[in-house]
Structure 1
Amino acid sequence: MAVTIKDVAKIANVAPSTVSRVIANSSRISEKTKKRVREVMDELGYHPNFIARSLASHSTRAIGLVMPSSSDAVFQNPFFPTVLTGLSEGAHAKQYALHMTTGKTDDEIYDGVVAMVQGGRVDGVVLLYSKVEDRVISYLKKRDFPFFVIGKPFKDDENINYVDNDNFKAGKEVTEHLIQLGHDRIAFIGGNLDLVVTVERIEGYEKALRNSGIKLVDEYIINDEFLQESGQDAVEVLLSLDQPPSALVVADDLMALGVLNKLDEMGIEVPKDISIVSFNNVLIAEMARPPLTSVNINIFDLGFQAAKNLIQKIENPEEPIKRIIVPFNIVTRYSCDRPKESLV
């Protein structure tokens, strides 16, 4: 016979309603009582029937995750497993499950979100990207459905819950790092211009150049997907210019790995011949040869904060709009040096 809440309550010497509140992790129950009830649940092998609870409470206790349209980027880029770990931990702390949807096109993504929301499969949604134009955000706002964006919304950000870094400032500071080393021919290899993160990092890069009186060169800015192959293609184009750059700001560690591989094929040494700074500070940056100077954007915390604060909004619809900025720091390694001509 299956163990019931009443069985747990009897042995723990509490009311069945108290057991229910412990399962829901209610703040009204003391930690001492929670500990005793959970110990009894473990002893009896009791597992809450969350499906039945959801039907009764009209809550799924699930969060929908909306991935970018490029499935290649999702599975190749270490950013996503790390941010998913943060989301998972934030959700698990409040006993929420994660429901993932993705698609190969914007239309497929939109249809997937509509199916999740109208099908009552989730209580809220996290978007793991921020686009310049996005029907998903418009749809969720129109339905007044709880959602959080990882990335700053392109417009109406004062009325949208989001968590992000200050990407303008990060783009500016890494460019200044190279300028301080003496570089004045600095190129930018970024992601898709449909993504707000790309736009803001380019703006920071350009601001640093203008502040230093360095002329902006249109050919020095190349944008593509956040993939290794994109970095390889971009550096090949840049080094074919009549006056190639002496330093690169690369908007993603995976792209930077592609840059390093292509430079090695071409017999160009880093940082002796060209310097590189990149973003995300995933394991790739540390394991690369040479190890990459990279911006640590605290990816795990981006995911954790998104899940934690979305659940707060789900459980208390009166929660105010939250715009959370996760700090970043530049981790200096061995991919940057003064320009070659200054070392002669």
Structure 2
Amino acid sequence: MMAVTIKDVAKQANVAPSTVSRVLSDSPRISEKTKKKVRKVMEEMGYYINHNARVLVQKSTQTIGIVMKNSTSASLHDPFFPEVLRGISALCHQQSFNISITTGESEEAIFNDVVKMVQGKRVDGLIVSYSKKDDKVVPFLVKSGIPFVVVGKPIGKANEIMSVDNDNVQAAKEATEYLIRLGHTKIGFISEQPKYEVSAARLQGYTDAMRMNNLDIDADFIKHLDKSEPMKRVVDELLDGSKLPTGFVVTDDIAALNLLLCLREKNIKVPEEVSIISFNNTIIAKLATPPLTSIDTQIYQLGYESAKCLIEEIKNPLMFKKSVIIPTFIEERGSCQSLLDK
């Protein structure tokens, strides 16, 4: 079946091909009545805009790039990213924008994907889905001058970078104070590597809450997970030192579920012996046994607002670089128990 052309539409609508082109670009020189008639014919004939041709004319791709935190497979296994993508997609759909995602499996490959997107003029702007130290992507985007938004608090000249984030210091402070109100004084903190800004901010919130409540911060209770320090080893180390906290603030639901499973292997009951509060309030928190009390970071909204800010900047490059803060709240479930009743 041959693709329908502008000439075919013009013939059917009984107008000049130049009129059809003007309808496509929503020219004010064409009356609403003619626009309506031509659009109806397009729909009936199944005419679709040739985006490649449009890019050449408008110098716009109607596409935004999304920079993943790490390999696509790892990112999509973490329920945080599909939910961010859902928010981004919803706004892009409203604005008729497409999405292009980095597919590199390493930091270097992801950076090369970004360079190709920018230098190949494949996207109008980008959303960087993380903020971390020693990142090459953000400095490259600043230098290139392309519109972009960071999901997280930018490191460095934050006032020159558009961002959408939660107040992670405050959220972690509230999570820690939630356990303190339940009578916990020995509280542990578990996060992924602190090179990510979100981990550092949540650690700050935890230490602020402990200090403000005159509680000792035990360095042995602060653990950062990586390949050499998996959750099983963290739990073993705490048990070997006979110093298991009665409560844990864990920076994401996956790590909290992992902690739950490691404690179960050791026959340590949650919440009877140990309480856990985590972050992100993903499907994992709801389905865990017991279900996890978790800080809802409104992930969908983070994605939606980041796309909204980016498309605003694409359409108006001179707009000021704003920072949007998405509020958080605690979703209480069964993984925390008061020590005050004991």
Extract unaligned runs of 5+ from structure 1.
Answer: none
SS of the aligned residue for 2:99 comes to strand
Is contact 2:13–2:37 with CA below 8 Å preserved after alignment? no
Equivalent position of 2:334 in the other structure: 334
Q: Once the 2 structures are TM-superposed, how far is the Cα of residue 21 of structure 1 from its aligned partner?
A: 3.5
SS of the aligned residue for 1:249 comes to strand
Is contact 2:20–2:38 with CA below 8 Å preserved after alignment? no
Letter in 1 for 2:246: S
CA distance in 2, matches of 1:328, 1:296: 5
Q: Tell me the alpha carbon deviations over residues 246-285 of structure 1, each in whole angstroms, 9 at most, x when there is no partner.
A: 0000100011111111111111111101000000101111
CA distance in 2, matches of 1:255, 1:205: 17
Q: 1:182 to 1:8 in 2, by over 3 A?
A: farther
Is contact 1:230–1:255 with CA below 8 Å preserved after alignment? no
Larger Rg: 2
Q: Once the 2 structures are TM-superposed, how far is the Cα of residue 6 of structure 1 from its aligned partner?
A: 6.0
Is contact 1:61–1:96 with CA below 8 Å preserved after alignment? yes
Q: How does 1:121-270 map to 2 (within 5 A)?
A: 121-225=122-226, 230-270=230-270
SS of the aligned residue for 1:239 comes to helix
Alignment length, in residue pairs?
337
Q: In the alignment, does 2:48 pair up with 1:55?
A: no
Is contact 2:171–2:295 with CA below 8 Å preserved after alignment? yes
Match of residue 20, structure 2, among 9, 13, 16: 16
Is contact 1:5–1:19 with CA below 8 Å preserved after alignment? no
CA distance in 1, matches of 2:202, 2:28: 41
CA distance in 1, matches of 2:320, 2:23: 31
Q: 1:254 to 1:13 in 2, by over 3 A?
A: farther
Is contact 1:170–1:204 with CA below 8 Å preserved after alignment? yes
Equivalent position of 2:297 in the other structure: 297
Q: Tell me the alpha carbon deviations over residues 314-344 of structure 1, each in whole angstroms, 9 at most, x when there is no partner.
A: 12111111101111111011111123xx544
SS of the aligned residue for 1:200 comes to helix
CA distance in 2, matches of 1:202, 1:215: 15
Q: 1:29 to 1:216 in 2, by over 3 A?
A: farther
Deviates more, 1:111-120 or 1:121-130: 111-120
Q: Tell me the alpha carbon deviations over residues 289-312 of structure 1, each in whole angstroms, 9 at most, x when there is no partner.
A: 111100111111111111121111
CA distance in 1, matches of 2:231, 2:327: 26
Question: Structure 1 length normalisation: TM-score?
Answer: 0.89
SS of the aligned residue for 1:64 comes to strand
CA distance in 2, matches of 1:147, 1:28: 34
Q: Once the 2 structures are TM-superposed, how far is the Cα of residue 178 of structure 1 from its aligned partner?
A: 0.2
Q: 1:28 to 1:310 in 2, by over 3 A?
A: farther
Deviates more, 1:171-180 or 1:308-317: 308-317
Is contact 1:8–1:19 with CA below 8 Å preserved after alignment? no
CA distance in 2, matches of 1:328, 1:32: 48
Deviates more, 1:31-40 or 1:241-250: 31-40
Is contact 2:23–2:30 with CA below 8 Å preserved after alignment? no
Deviates more, 1:144-153 or 1:51-60: 51-60
CA distance in 1, matches of 2:135, 2:6: 45
Equivalent position of 1:310 in the other structure: 310
Deviates more, 1:132-141 or 1:274-283: 132-141
CA distance in 2, matches of 1:12, 1:311: 36
Is contact 2:275–2:336 with CA below 8 Å preserved after alignment? yes
Is contact 2:275–2:335 with CA below 8 Å preserved after alignment? yes
Q: Once the 2 structures are TM-superposed, how far is the Cα of residue 237 of structure 1 from its aligned partner?
A: 2.9
Q: Once the 2 structures are TM-superposed, how far is the Cα of residue 224 of structure 1 from its aligned partner?
A: 1.8
Deviates more, 1:184-193 or 1:300-309: 300-309
Equivalent position of 1:324 in the other structure: 324
Q: In the alignment, does 2:78 pair up with 1:77?
A: yes
Q: Once the 2 structures are TM-superposed, how far is the Cα of residue 167 of structure 1 from its aligned partner?
A: 0.3
Instruction: Report the RMSD for the aligned CA atoms in angstroms.
Output: 2.8
Q: In the alignment, does 2:103 pair up with 1:99?
A: no
Q: 1:92 to 1:3 in 2, by over 3 A?
A: same
Q: Once the 2 structures are TM-superposed, how far is the Cα of residue 209 of structure 1 from its aligned partner?
A: 0.3
CA distance in 1, matches of 2:170, 2:7: 56
CA distance in 1, matches of 2:281, 2:200: 20
Q: In the alignment, does 2:42 pair up with 1:41?
A: yes
Question: Structure 2 length normalisation: TM-score?
Answer: 0.89
Is contact 1:164–1:324 with CA below 8 Å preserved after alignment? yes
Letter in 2 for 1:67: M
SS of the aligned residue for 1:75 comes to helix
